[in-house]
Amino acid sequence: MFRSLSGRSLAGIAAILVSCVIAVMTLSPTALAEGIDPPLLTEAMLQQRLERVKLDQGQPVIDLSQVTIDLRGSSLGETGKPFADSFYRQLRPYLNRPSFPPQLDLTGSQIRGRFRIQPLSLNVPLYGQQLSLLLSENERKQLERDRRRRSQLQQLSSSLIPNSPENSGSNFQVRLFRGKLILDGTDFLDDVDWNNTFFLGGIEGRSTVFRGEVQASESRFSKQFKLTQVKFLRPVGFHNSIFFTNVNLNRVQFQGELDFTGATFELGGNFRNGQFKKLANFADSKFLETADFSETIWRSRGDFSKSKFIQSLYFTDSMILDNLSFRETQFLKSVNFREGSFQKVLDFSDAQFNSEAYLNISNLTFDANESQLIGNPGKIGRVLSIPTLQGNENLLINLVRNFRELEQIEDANQVNYKRIILVQRDLVKRVFASNLNTASRETLRQIGFSQAQIAEILQHRQEQVFSSLSEMLSLETVSLNTYTQVRDRLIAVPPITWKLRLYLALKLGFITLLLALSRYGTSFALVFGVGAIAIAYFASLFWLIDRYRRLRPQRIVPTVYESLCVLVTTGLIFMIGVIDIIQSSPQPGLTLACLGVVMGPIPGLLTLRMYQQGRYHDLMDVSYFVEDGAFRELRLMISRLPIMPRFPFFRDRFEPILCDRRWGWLNYYDFSLNNLLKFGFNDIRLRDRQLPGLIAALAWYQWGLGILYISLLFWTLSRTIPGLNLFLYF
């Protein structure tokens, strides 16, 4: 068949094929991806494209797309001079026209040599009152603000180094690049120089590749800064740059070192799905709006030291494979590490969290044995936030272990306290909330379901029980709004028997009691406050019973001085205890209510009954309390019982306490201290003869409470003192 074709036909076919290849190389945006270089831009071609400026939504566009721009010194133009000089000289007047600044479209182009933005920019003096008439009002405000900032920095530098040559002149120039850069699919083979430039038109690009270094220190970006799916293969520097616009660097790969030190993000920064393969340095940076680093991968060290976040910071679903530092960083809003994972160190040392700020680490994964969360002792544990127990059990265990290994016992206790609060909330729902798998029609209706939703729920649970509340969203009639309204009043668990419900109720009561009296073993101050009130209360009660016996027929009452001393000291101790409880207890009202239940009904009834029946036995003028006169020393009385032994030999050692001394009322505090803390100065007990049973019952009641209190005290000390803590847990 080919033999039948003439030579002229073959030549025509060849010409058509060559034309097609040239067209594909010129027009195809995927030419670079296929390894085919776009055609080389010449001076004549550049002039033609400058003369054919097109419009995009009323804005002129300089089309330099799908070409190879060779800016190397070895590349010569048609006149024999370097092409780079001609390129910048021809392009600059078009970018700085008084009319609307044009867009510079480099879509699909390949740029060889160092791409410098300064020769395409407009120089404006830093000082002086004259502003370029080419700028809009907003641009002039930003420039004036930048001038003031630079002037203040220069004045500060002059005061520190007065004879510095950098401070001798006042002709510093600010370079303004007024056009917008469009970099879709652009391939920069060498370095890019954007240093010390005010970009007024914005930068937008997708699938751009920067194979050389990108230098943009001291630059300003006024409008859009959006680079999506971009690759930076070499170091990138935005040192001390200011972004007046929202920074959008979504799905960007930083394969070289990244320098954002001292940068300011006035409208926040979006780094979602980014990858940081080497050092990413954001030290001294400032984010005035939300900073989003969600779903990022950090293969090397990240540094946010001394930075400031005015709004929320997101590291949701991020994978951190190396150290990430937030030393001396200020957080004014929330920090979110939900669903993230880290393998080495998250360092929040000396970080400052505002009163509204917190660190959400829900479902955060400790991904290696050397994973550590570091922060200031006693502070980092208070800002941690874990909203739910489900899915966070291992995280809470790892956090407690993490802080115990760092000997930050207070933070470990704070995390354990948060865990118990979550357990308490879960128990409350399991005891009192309705079960989605067993609730009746009427119960579901009262909760807020419609008849159609109730019918679908009943049909679903006949086929399969609900394993979680989120399964309701799979039903056609249940909307997200309905789920949000009813989720706090429902649980989804297998049917609960009455025995299990009773066990859960008892467990809930026990946990609530420990939280009220000791903050679940994490607050010695709270335990001290509870003990102080109990000691003062029972001491004053025993003093009343012993010293105020009857009015008739023989008056036996204390002196006015003694009564005043007891009332004043009891009031002071009560005040100290209440202040400790208010400052330390998560629920001061519940703590005081528990004390009221323990100290009110039984002691009150015993005392009331005692005065109702009266006392007319022998030895009425002798105190009910005796002391061991053989010793006066500080002693531990764990095995001591509140009543004196009956053996006559011991009666020779125990004598009634002295009531005619001005300090005699202190003995009742000593007895109360012995009963509750098993610790005191003198061995004071009740006598064994002519002792009303109600008084003995009251003493034994306090002694039994003392066993429980001393156990609570030792348990709390073991969790708050490192030595005892190590003995208990390891």
Q: What is the pLDDT of residues 426-448, one digit of tens each?
A: 899 888 888 888 888 888 888 88
> Is the pLDDT score of 77 beyond 90?
no
What pLDDT shows up at residue 150? 61
Please report, for residues 209, 248, 273, 306, 397, the alpha-carbon distance to residue 228 in angstroms, rounded to integers and kept in the order given.
11, 7, 10, 28, 39
Q: Which of the residue ranges 110-124, 300-314, 520-534 would you say has the lowest mean pLDDT?
A: 110-124
HEC per residue, 10-60: HHHHHHHHHHHHHHHHHHCCCCCCCCCCCCECCHHHHHHHHHCCEEECCEE
What pLDDT shows up at residue 617? 84
Mean pLDDT of 294-307: 94
Contact 534, 576 (CB under 8 A): no
Tokens 């073959």 belong to 10
What pLDDT shows up at residue 169? 42
What pLDDT shows up at residue 565? 93
Strands (E), 510-644: 625-628, 635-636
Mean pLDDT of 214-242: 92
> Is the pLDDT score of 656 beyond 90?
no
Nearest to 584 by CA among 508, 510, 533: 533
Mean pLDDT of 549-559: 83
First to last CA, the chain: 90
Bridge partners (DSSP) of residue 614 are: none
Please report, for residues 458, 524, 678, 714, 716, the alpha-carbon distance to residue 711 in angstroms, rounded to integers and kept in the order given.
49, 13, 11, 5, 9
Q: Which of the residue ranges 145-149, 172-176, 345-349, 578-582 would you say has the lowest mean pLDDT?
A: 145-149
Nearest to 549 by CA among 625, 611, 617: 611
Q: What is the pLDDT of residues 97-139, one digit of tens each?
A: 766 678 899 999 999 989 999 888 887 665 544 455 556 666 6
Helices (H) and strands (E) in the chain, counts: 19, 51
Question: Which residues have C-beta within 8 Å of that of residue 631, sequence separation ≥ 6?
Answer: 682, 683
What's the Rg (C-alpha) of the chain?
40
What pLDDT shows up at residue 680? 76
As a whole number, the mean pLDDT across the chain is 84
What pLDDT shows up at residue 399? 92
Q: What letters, b where the CB count within 10 A reaches 16 and e where it falls short, cover 198-215? A: bbbbbbbbbbbbbebbbb
If one counts every other C-beta atom within 10 angstroms of the C-beta of residue 170, the result is 11
Q: What is the pLDDT of residues 79-99, one digit of tens each?
A: 657 788 888 888 888 887 766
Query: Distance between CA 608 and CA 123 in Å, rounded?
Result: 95
> Is the pLDDT score of 595 beyond 90?
yes
If one counts every other C-beta atom within 10 angstroms of the C-beta of residue 261, the result is 20
Q: What letters, b where the CB count within 10 A reaches 16 and e where it falls short, cover 50-59? A: beeeeeeeee
Question: Which residues have C-beta within 8 Å of that of residue 217, sequence separation ≥ 6?
Answer: 195, 196, 237, 238, 239, 240, 241, 259
What pLDDT shows up at residue 149? 65
What pLDDT shows up at residue 136? 64
What pLDDT shows up at residue 101? 75
Question: Which residues have C-beta within 8 Å of that of residue 574, sequence separation ≥ 6?
Answer: 532, 533, 536, 537
Helix ranges (H only) for 55-178 are 83-95, 137-160
| Residue 540 DSSP label | H
Q: What is the pLDDT of residues 374-390, one digit of tens each?
A: 999 989 999 999 988 88
Q: What is the pLDDT of residues 130-176, one digit of tens each?
A: 455 556 666 667 667 666 666 655 555 555 555 544 444 444 567 88
Q: What is the pLDDT of residues 26-76, one digit of tens each?
A: 444 444 444 567 888 888 888 888 888 777 776 788 889 999 998 887 766
The rounded Cα 37 to chain-centroid distance in angstroms is 49
Share of the chain above pLDDT 90, in %: 44
What pLDDT shows up at residue 578? 95
What pLDDT shows up at residue 126? 54
Q: What is the pLDDT of residues 675-688, one digit of tens each?
A: 898 877 888 888 88
Which tokens belong to 173? 């120039």
Half-sphere exposure of 670 (CA within 13 A, CB side): 22
Q: What letters, b where the CB count within 10 A reaches 16 and e where it falls short, cover 289-302? A: bbbbbbbbebbebb
Contact 668, 627 (CB under 8 A): no
Q: Which pTM does this prediction carry?
A: 0.80
Query: Distance between CA 529 and CA 574 in Å, rounded?
Result: 9
Query: Distance between CA 290 and CA 311 in Å, rounded?
Result: 5
Reported confidence tier of residue 13, pLDDT bands at 50, 70, 90:
low
Nearest to 429 by CA among 389, 458, 394, 457: 389
What pLDDT shows up at residue 158? 55
Q: What is the pLDDT of residues 167-200, one digit of tens each?
A: 444 445 678 888 889 999 999 999 999 998 888 8
The rounded Cα 398 to chain-centroid distance in angstroms is 17
Q: Which residue has the higher pLDDT, 585 or 159?
A: 585
Q: Which of the residue ranges 283-287, 463-467, 697-701 would you say has the lowest mean pLDDT?
A: 463-467
